[in-house]
Amino acid sequence: MIIIKLGGSVITDKSRYRTFRREITKKIIDVVSEFEEELILVHGGGSFGHIMAKRYGFPGSVNLKNKNGIALIHNDMESLDQKLVAMFHKHKREIFPVPPSSVICGEKKNLDIFRLLVEKNITPITYGDVYFKSPDYIGIYSGDDLVLDLSRMFRPEKVMFISDVDGIFDKNPKLYHNAKLMREVKSRANFENSSIDVTGGLGHKYEIMKKINETGAKVYLLNGNFPERIKETGRVEFIGTVLS
Ligand code: ATP
Ligand code: IPE
């Protein structure tokens, strides 16, 4: 099995509310649809999630002022999801969306639907979402957290994080031109953030990647702006970071 996280930074313009990067997303989906292995897809929110989450103060307590933000953010995420599902349908790939806010309530998560779909040879697609962490607190279940939970459940051979950078650098390449790509992470990286992100940015992602790697999966971080790299994981010519 392969689990793929399509990062919000590549499928959307993270700085402009609800801006879908249609061309590049289509190219990525063209490549991903060709995989013959069992697949689970997870996508981030980018500007369909983070901008309004920040404006409404989520993650955070629910009050009269921010209550309607929950539906707005969920609906925005769902509309992004629908765009991806439509692209997969063109490839005649059977795919079924699983909104996390419907399977997670408080501390209880029921991810059985993913097992059922995989058994039926249907590709589950899920995404970062708002959810009730407690009756009065809205949490954000990030796509990266979902990838970790699903990796613990399915023990995939490969997990790919598709982002807008070539991999993990020794420091943020968007801020420092002399940043060096780390094909394997042997020394410490600095994760100074340059974007609006309510779920922790790349530092958090790297911690998740390490935990997934402990489940036995090879974990890749690669640049989705070069979709051919998705096919090259595991080969010498692969450009990106791998935890193997
Ligand atoms: P999202 O989580 O929104 O989906 P993503 O999964 O694609 O997006 P981000 O969490 O945005 O990934 O992480 C990618 C961003 O992290 C890059 O755009 C870059 O600006 C930033 N970054 C910070 N530190 C580093 C680093 N050491 N190496 C690479 N990128 C870094
Ligand atoms: C964010 O999900 C979802 C919301 C803010 C509602 P992610 O954290 O997985 O999104 P990206 O990939 O960082 O954009």
pLDDT at 197: 62
List Cα–Cα distances, 228 to 23, 30, 182, 239, in angstroms. 14, 10, 19, 10
Ligand 2 atom with least separation from CA of 73: 6
d(CA 204, CA 213): 14
Tokens of 229: 């790299």
Q: Which ligand is nearest to the CA of 204?
A: 1
Tens place of pLDDT for every residue, the chain, 244 residues?
999 999 999 999 999 999 999 999 999 999 999 999 999 999 999 999 999 999 999 999 998 888 899 999 999 999 999 999 999 999 988 999 999 999 999 989 999 999 999 999 999 999 999 999 999 999 999 999 999 999 999 999 999 999 999 999 999 998 999 999 999 987 778 888 755 565 667 888 999 999 999 999 999 999 999 999 999 999 999 999 999 8
Among 3, 9, 212, say which to mutate for ligand 1: greatest number of ligand atoms within 8 Å of CB: 9
pLDDT at 140: 96
Q: Which ligand is nearest to the CA of 161?
A: 1
Among 165, 191, 192, say which to mutate for ligand 1: greatest number of ligand atoms within 8 Å of CB: 165
pTM of the model: 0.94
